[in-house]
Structures are given as structure tokens and as C-alpha cells.
Amino acid sequence: MDKAILSKAGLARSLGIARSSLYYVSRQEKKDRAVKARIEEELREHPAYGSRSLCLALHFCRQKIQRVMRKFGIKHYRRVSRKWRRKSESYRSGLRVIHGPLCGCSHFYW
């Protein structure tokens, strides 16, 4: 078949979808872009807000905010904590003294 002559019905048939699906325009996309703009505006003011804080600030349900953030790849600022390290060996190898009598023997050190 020549691609220039292919009709919309033929195109839909070759894709295996209904012809009416070719005319479909999502209304959700326009709403999502509006929510995205409001989320980004709020995150400029409060960069650490997650979906829970945004739902309280914007008065939207949390699922909607999570869906839009996931769809557009929006992430809030997360502070990076320091990596946990062991204390130095010299601290751990020191002599430990238990104050007070232990088993009635005050001259023992543990």
C-alpha cells in the first residue's frame, strides 16, 4: 500500500484500533499541566514539601498530586544525611571501669 493514499480508516485498520480513537484528545492532560504549574509554584516557595504537605497547601487530593509528580518527574528537595561511621579503634579499645562494687569486690575492673 502507498502511504500517501492510505485513508484514516485504513490507517486505523492497520493499527488494529477503532477509527474514532484517532480523534481522541485527552482532557486530563490540560488539567495535569495546570496542577503541575501550581505544584512547581508551591515548591519554589517551600522546596522540602512532599505530596502530603502539597495536598494541604493546594487543597488537592494526595493521589492526584502524586500522579502528576510521577508523570512529570517532579521531586522535592531532600536533605542528604551524613554517612554513619564507626568510632575510632582507640576509643573502643580503652579500659572500661564500672564504678561501685561489683559482686562485693571493689578492686575488679571490667
How far is CA 93 from each of CA 88, 97, 102, 107, rounded to the nearest angstrom?
Answer: 9, 12, 22, 20
List the chain pLDDT tens, one digit each, 110 residues.
555 678 999 999 999 999 999 899 999 999 999 999 999 999 999 999 999 999 999 999 999 999 999 999 999 888 788 888 776 665 555 555 555 555 666 565 55
- Cα 107 to Cα 102: distance, rounded to the nearest angstrom: 9
Domain residue extents for the chain: 26-77
| Letter string b/e over residues 30-68, b meaning 16 or more CB atoms within 10 A of that residue's CB | eebeebbeebeebbeeeeebbbebbbebbebeeebbeeb
pTM over cut 0.75: no
